Structure 1
């Protein structure tokens, strides 16, 4: 395992904070408090980020915001990941059709990153921001794990707060592959608490959906594939009104899958056989 680099971690936390709070600027005290750094270490990191153009500092208010160097970095990243741009172009239409929040997410080895957000903002939605991250911990991330290498799935399961039953995991992943999309129930108690309490044990992932039964759907998520049939990003819709009929749930899933399929084809991806 690579040795941690505290200064790098602090720099990335600062950048992530500013990305998720677009248009806002923060004092050094605010940044230190929000990222859990001391004033001294925050000052040293900010000095380097400002000098290299990744952050800019207001001359009179002494606040920090994103710098111009990140613009070229972001544009270069989009060129390398055209599926993100294509998906971002598609999600406003899907959000309007479903009257829901729709986001584009990408997976790192341990997190899910929200890279694009679309939609009017449903009052039932979780309200994620671009740049925000959540842990890639079961049952979150089923849409990424359904087509992942077994070693990736094993690492994902190893981060579970409650060890899932192997047969239940296989059922969940098989259901996602068969449908072409993942489903998740809405969970109360606030966004963070809901993420902590979600479990495959309580059928959060809806392995089966009955057409006439009522469901409080939390999300529907479908993958965008690359040329090798690997999941690049996912398109996820959320913020639905409670009490949807099963047939409505399945229709939502199919609409999200269709949107993701359009992006896969636009970017010359390959749907797995």
Structure 2
């Protein structure tokens, strides 16, 4: 049974979402009404109420609207309800400064991977923003299930966003080594990372030929994972690394979040190990903040 929707509420959400997608721009009544396909009286009523409540700010000179200060406190309150407090932000800030790369905290919320916090060096842009989310289904989300057999099997049983091949032997090696070292390194080029995001949003009703082609591009779930054991001794080869992730646990010894370094560049084996160790130390600190316990290595 479909839950009953509220069109008036949907119109309010549409205005807030639109302005959030254009955080550096201001829009007048006529343009907002036109872009969102609303009547001017309806749009004006919503804008006036949101402005009076300080969810929006109206420029009295050019009569344009932008997001308001009340959303700041609302956002911080939302983050803290998801256990992203000032102490957690300080840990991310320290990690980002130490590794000179953006550090992020994310979690699975309502079957979607959601970015809870992102802190990086000034001027960096990794192409994602806080609050952005993706469907939690193969091939997206391995870092959220890699550490627990039950969670892994449940995730693999989900309908994938595209057809996948699964090399069981390779995936078993990935599981064993990542659990031993405590982190996961995803070896993707920037183009591959964009492709993953595109695949995650695509419908499963694509033509068979196109689905097969996309499946070839994505390939196997574990294929793009970097494993230190596969690097030759003294190997100075550089690897294109997208993200390095480590789990954060709660007091039930269950994974609560993932802390990640958003790399997006080539790294040597030594650099990968060095930054990964710093990442695991941060994940352990965040686990301690939650009063969590790291499961014993199996």
In the superposition, the TM-score normalised over structure 2's length comes to 0.70
Largest Rg, 1 or 2: 2
1:178 equivalent in structure 2 = 180
Other structure's SS at 2:278 match: helix
Alpha carbons of structure 1 residues 78 and 133: separation in structure 2 relative to 1, 3 Å? closer
Residue 171 of structure 1 and its aligned partner are, at CA, apart by 5.3
Residue 130 of structure 1 and its aligned partner are, at CA, apart by 2.5
Residue 230 of structure 1 and its aligned partner are, at CA, apart by 2.7
2:3 equivalent in structure 1 = 3
Show the 5 A alignment for 1:186-201: 186-189=188-191, 191-195=193-197, 196=199, 198-201=218-221
CA distance in 1, matches of 2:4, 2:138: 25
Q: Which runs of 5+ in 2 are unaligned?
A: 200-216
Q: Aligned pairs, how many?
A: 269
2:209 equivalent in structure 1 = none
Q: Alpha-carbon deviations, 1:53-82, whole Å to 9, x = none?
A: 433333343433233443443343344334
> Does residue 130 of structure 2 align to residue 140 of structure 1?
no
Other structure's SS at 1:271 match: coil
Q: Alpha-carbon deviations, 1:103-137, whole Å to 9, x = none?
A: 222322343322222222687x6332233334434
Residue 251 of structure 1 and its aligned partner are, at CA, apart by 2.7
**1:101 and 1:120 in contact (8 A); partners too:** yes
The root-mean-square deviation of aligned C-alpha atoms, in Å, is 3.8
Q: Alpha-carbon deviations, 1:181-237, whole Å to 9, x = none?
A: 221112243753353354535712235643425421111011222222233322211
Alignment partner for residue 223 of structure 2, among 192, 203, 215?
Answer: 203
1:229 equivalent in structure 2 = 253
Residue 33 of structure 1 and its aligned partner are, at CA, apart by 8.0
Alpha carbons of structure 1 residues 95 and 15: separation in structure 2 relative to 1, 3 Å? same
Alpha carbons of structure 1 residues 151 and 180: separation in structure 2 relative to 1, 3 Å? closer
Q: Which runs of 5+ in 1 are unaligned?
A: none
Alpha carbons of structure 1 residues 173 and 28: separation in structure 2 relative to 1, 3 Å? farther
CA distance in 2, matches of 1:68, 1:47: 15
Alpha carbons of structure 1 residues 147 and 238: separation in structure 2 relative to 1, 3 Å? same
Residue 256 of structure 1 and its aligned partner are, at CA, apart by 0.9
Other structure's SS at 2:225 match: coil
